Amino acid sequence: MSPPYEEKGSVVDAPPAELVQHIDDKILKHSHDADTAMKAFEGYEGQTLELSEVTNRRLLRKIDKHLMPILCIVYGLNYLDKTTLSYASIMGLKLPHSDDKLKSGIGISGSEYSWLSSLFYFGYLAWEYPTTRLLQRLPLGKYSAFNIIMWGIVLSCFAAVNNYSGAIAIRFFLGVFEAAVTPGFALFTSQWYTKREQGLRTGIWFSFNGFAQIFGGLVAYGIAVGSRKHGTIMEPWRIIFLVTGVLTSTIGLIFLWIVPDNQLNCRWLSKEDQILAIERIRVNGQGVGNKHFKWYQLKEALLDPLSWAFFFYALIADIPNGGLSNFFSQLIVGFGYTPEESLLYGTPGGAVEIVALIVCGWAGDKFGYRILISMSGMLLALLGMILIVALPLSANSGRLAGYYLTQASPTPFVAILSLIASNVAGYTKKTTVAAFFLIGYCTGNIIGPQTFRSQDAPRYVPAEITIIVCYGLCLAIMVFIHFYCVSQNKKKAAIRNAPGYVKLENQEWLDLTDKENPEFTYTL
């Protein structure tokens, strides 16, 4: 299918009468391309479904009760499992600050450890677009559960690794299977929640990265201390891989049972509630899913300035993330603490992330300025990194406090992730933009560990300055995104107010893109 009025840039540039005719033709001739939600409303033509505020709140409570706990736990494990390598690096896998010629653990050098950190994202990058296509094509809940179970199995296998090549293979395939999680969760959020609910929910499940940092640090510390005092039949770093891997696969089986593919096959909703659960997200103008791949939506995604802003934000923001998430234990050791202390002292950073994400998510939804409010977390992170660079080596506590502040940096990343759910319509376009965003994420995380060079230890000044520059560029991109969305909303309002414009029945379920649909409003 080709987009109408392509020579004018998008369908919203069409005169109102021609625009209405285009949408009407899409209903009559292309209903098989419409959203899955259209099937739910067959037989309801001309009828109005009443969704009272009481019913809406009841459904929201039920959806939150069943979906949010499992999404939160899985996303926490998603962070814990890929950063387990950082804990293992000071538990015997590789001694911190060792010379590149000094071998330890499985026999890897400092430079090899940096590449091992990046290998996860090579797997993620290689499989990101194929997996987003599979998320669109296959049952969303079942395919997501398969990937969770498989990444747990792969992580467990790291406990049996004895050489660098084996570790490379494990890290690569761990990235392959984890590639489905973030885009899948963005789809779940847009599928079940209204735009005004999505920012907070995305912030909540993403905040479990912070809980995972706390949990992982305490578990790693307990294993390290217990092993030192009582000894173990297995090396401590192997134990942490085995524990986290088995836990992940077990949670994956629970996810398979609880999380449906969409509202229409949800076992914990009655038939009536399934229809009402779809009706309550009609205001999103996005539907719940469409398995038809549409080339014009792919083209629109690649030509949309918003897509490129998302991509470059992810690329630049995740250079710091890739470095800090894999080197934070060694960075804290560089502040003057012991390896065991670094496991314990890293945990408060998780609390900072939790508070920043939930507060910014709540405030963004409440006040309607999700993008601008999220920038506060990045400003805190920028201040934190300046403290790390500017304070002398003797100021251990101050530099550690600076590290804690850097953990507020994910707030704009999460805001953009929620904007992919809220501000990108058309299922092919949405999955494409999500893939594009996460390709930038992978690329940044591949670059990040390479900025932490062993010869720069213990201060890592070049890496820290790189992080400061990246944070500043990210703030500029967020300002652009805000004002671009404001300008697009003004253009759409002008079309809706033009003489001759008529909104048609079930226009929300036609799988129109955000640019095609004049009723679509961008969340700020």
Instruction: Evaluate if residue 305 carries a pLDDT over 70.
Output: yes
Q: What does the pLDDT average to over 19-38?
A: 52
Helices (H), 158-180: 164-178
Classify residue 177 as exposed, middle or buried by CB count within 10 Å of its CB (0-12, 13-18, 19+): buried
Per the structure, the complete domain to which residue 444 belongs is given by 50-509
Instruction: Evaluate if residue 263 carries a pLDDT over 80.
Output: yes
Instruction: Evaluate if residue 232 carries a pLDDT over 80.
Output: no
In a domain, 31, yes or no: no
In a domain, 439, yes or no: yes
In a domain, 12, yes or no: no
Q: What's residue 44's pLDDT?
A: 56
Band of residue 100 on the pLDDT scale cut at 50, 70, 90: very low
- What is the chain's mean pLDDT, rounded? 81
Instruction: Evaluate if residue 7 carries a pLDDT over 70.
Output: no
Q: What does the pLDDT average to over 241-249?
A: 91
Q: Poorest-confidence range of 37-46, 67-76, 308-317?
A: 37-46
Classify residue 487 as exposed, middle or buried by CB count within 10 Å of its CB (0-12, 13-18, 19+): exposed
In a domain, 139, yes or no: yes
In a domain, 452, yes or no: yes
Q: What's residue 102's pLDDT?
A: 38
Band of residue 302 on the pLDDT scale cut at 50, 70, 90: very high
Q: Poorest-confidence range of 67-76, 220-229, 419-428, 456-465?
A: 220-229
* Among candidate residues 67, 99, 149, 58, the one with its CA nearest the CA of residue 453: 99
Number of domains in the chain: 1
In a domain, 65, yes or no: yes
Q: What percent of the chain has pLDDT over 90?
A: 30
- Residue with more model confidence, 407 or 455: 407
Tell me the pLDDT tens digit for each residue of 318-355. Answer: 998 877 776 666 777 777 777 777 777 777 888 898 89
In a domain, 522, yes or no: no
Classify residue 227 as exposed, middle or buried by CB count within 10 Å of its CB (0-12, 13-18, 19+): middle
Instruction: Evaluate if residue 61 carries a pLDDT over 60.
Output: yes
Task: Report how far residue 285's alpha carbon sits from residue 520's, in angstroms, rounded to the nearest whole number.
Answer: 6
Q: What's residue 515's pLDDT?
A: 86
In a domain, 341, yes or no: yes
Q: Poorest-confidence range of 90-99, 415-424, 453-462?
A: 90-99
Contact 378, 323 (CB under 8 A): no
Q: What does the pLDDT average to over 499-509?
A: 70
- CATH code for position 243: 1.20.1250.20
Q: What's residue 43's pLDDT?
A: 57
Instruction: Evaluate if residue 111 carries a pLDDT over 90.
Output: no
Q: What's residue 373's pLDDT?
A: 94
Tell me the pLDDT tens digit for each residue of 125-169. Answer: 899 889 988 988 899 999 999 999 999 999 999 888 888 888 889
Task: Report how far residue 207's alpha carbon sits from residue 356's, in angstroms, rounded to the nearest whole number.
Answer: 8
Instruction: Evaluate if residue 119 carries a pLDDT over 80.
Output: yes
Cα-Cα end-to-end distance for the chain: 30
Q: What does the pLDDT average to over 440-445?
A: 88
Q: What's residue 289's pLDDT?
A: 62
